[in-house]
């Protein structure tokens, strides 16, 4: 490398399709991120992100499954072409980082093929004892908060966010605290993947500070967290009857394993059942 003074990037939040700094004016230098400045999100940033996700919900959830699938596939295309920079952002051993990018791409393509199958897989026509046409379909739960694991920083985030998007939800995700670069870099891919503004919002910051705010936010309809079940967020989430799930403590295992079918989609979609009389 020459002795040119290079242009350094600050990694910023991704909210409503834009890349704001934190309203709190704070940043931090994560240990695992090689001395790079990262915007440190606040409670107010979370609120802004939830507002953006709520606003983005009709656009994303009412898109056809076919369109959702194509948009998610476009994200996989973007990540494939950004593989090298993402490997740098993941850091550590390059081979391992490269494998993680591959796993993330595979996760995306798996879920890209899912949205238009959900009505068949999770819905049903129901036999009832009477002259009624009765069927059930699934709709997204709404705006879901995600707390990603520290590592794998990219594949862990993808494993949690993708099933939610495939179900038609919009997402506010807190990326890895130890290494937020891959998570925030994902925003730069989302911004050019035709994913509508607000469908995915990415925050970086301190888990200790922000997880309680996620849990207490009344306009989040659900929470999907890395790690083992924990009392505090679950208890706070009960105030608005949020759907809460935990992915388990072994993030390396569930981030890199093949996606578990619809098992991670199902807790964040709502079954809606229609009745209509049948008469001449």
Give residues in contact with other proteins (CB under 8 A): 122, 124, 126-130, 132, 134, 136, 139, 141, 221, 224, 228-235, 237-241, 243-248, 260-261, 263-264, 266-267, 270-277
Alpha-carbon distance values, 266 to 3, 89, 119, 207, 250 (Å)? 53, 32, 11, 26, 21
Report the nearest approach of other proteins to the CB of residue 267 (Å): 6
Give the nearest distance from C-beta 93 to other proteins in angstroms: 28
Q: Would you say 58 or 93 has its CB closer to other proteins? A: 58
Smallest distance, other proteins to C-beta of residue 74, A: 26
Report the nearest approach of other proteins to the CB of residue 212 (Å): 13
Torsion over CA: 148, 154, 159, 164 (sign): positive
Q: Which sign does the torsion angle of CA 111, 114, 116, 119 carry?
A: negative
Q: Is 120 exposed, middle or buried (0-12, 13-18, 19+ CB in 10 A)?
A: exposed
d(CA 137, CA 157): 28
Both tokens assigned to 111: 């879920």
**E-assigned strands of 231-268?**
243-246
If the CB atoms of residues 202 and 223 are measured against other proteins, the closer one turns out to be 223
Local structure of residue 161 (DSSP, 8 states): H
| Residue among 94 and 260 whose Cβ is closer to other proteins | 260
If the CB atoms of residues 30 and 168 are measured against other proteins, the closer one turns out to be 168
CB count, 10 Å around CB of 24?
14
Q: Which is nearer to other proteins, 51 or 240 (CB)?
A: 240
Question: For residues 102 and 137, which CB has a smaller minimum distance to other proteins in the complex?
Answer: 137
Residue closer to other proteins (CB basis): 30 or 145: 145
CA neighbours within 13 Å on the CB side: how many for 36? 22
The nearest distance, CB 5 to other proteins, in angstroms, is 48
Tell me the C-alpha to C-alpha distance, in Å, between residue 90 and each of 42, 182, 257, 263: 24, 6, 18, 27
Residue 267 DSSP class: G
Which token pair is 17? 């399709």
Residue with tokens 């994902």: 186
Cβ 251 to other proteins shortest distance, Å: 13
Which two tokens mark 58? 């009709």
Q: Cβ 48 to other proteins, closest distance in Å?
A: 22
């Amino acid at each position: 490398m020459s002795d040119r003074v290079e242009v350094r990037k600050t990694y910023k939040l991704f909210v409503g399709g834009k890349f704001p700094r934190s309203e709190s004016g704070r940043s931090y230098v994560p240990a695992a991120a090689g001395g790079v400045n990262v915007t440190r999100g606040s409670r107010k940033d979370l609120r802004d992100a939830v507002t953006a996700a709520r606003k983005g919900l009709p656009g994303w959830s009412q898109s056809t499954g076919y369109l959702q699938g194509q948009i998610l596939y476009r994200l996989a295309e973007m990540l494939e072409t950004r593989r090298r920079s993402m490997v740098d952002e993941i850091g550590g051993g390059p081979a391992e980082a490269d494998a993680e990018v591959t796993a993330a791409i595979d996760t995306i393509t798996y879920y890209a093929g899912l949205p238009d199958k959900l009505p068949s897989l999770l819905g049903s026509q129901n036999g009832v004892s009477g002259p009624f046409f009765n069927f059930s379909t699934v709709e997204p739960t709404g705006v879901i908060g995600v707390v990603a694991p520290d590592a794998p920083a990219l594949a862990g985030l993808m494993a949690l966010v993708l099933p939610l998007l495939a179900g038609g939800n919009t997402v506010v995700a807190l990326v890895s605290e130890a290494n937020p670069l891959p998570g925030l870099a994902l925003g730069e891919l989302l911004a050019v993947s035709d994913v509508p503004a607000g469908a995915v919002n990415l925050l970086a910051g301190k888990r200790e500070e922000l997880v309680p705010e996620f849990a207490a936010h009344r306009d989040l309809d659900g929470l999907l967290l890395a790690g083992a079940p924990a009392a505090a967020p679950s208890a706070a989430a009960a105030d608005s009857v949020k759907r809460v799930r935990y992915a388990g403590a072994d993030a390396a295992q569930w981030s890199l394993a093949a996606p578990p079918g619809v098992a991670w989609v199902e807790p964040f979609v709502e079954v809606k059942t229609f009745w209509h009389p049948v008469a001449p």
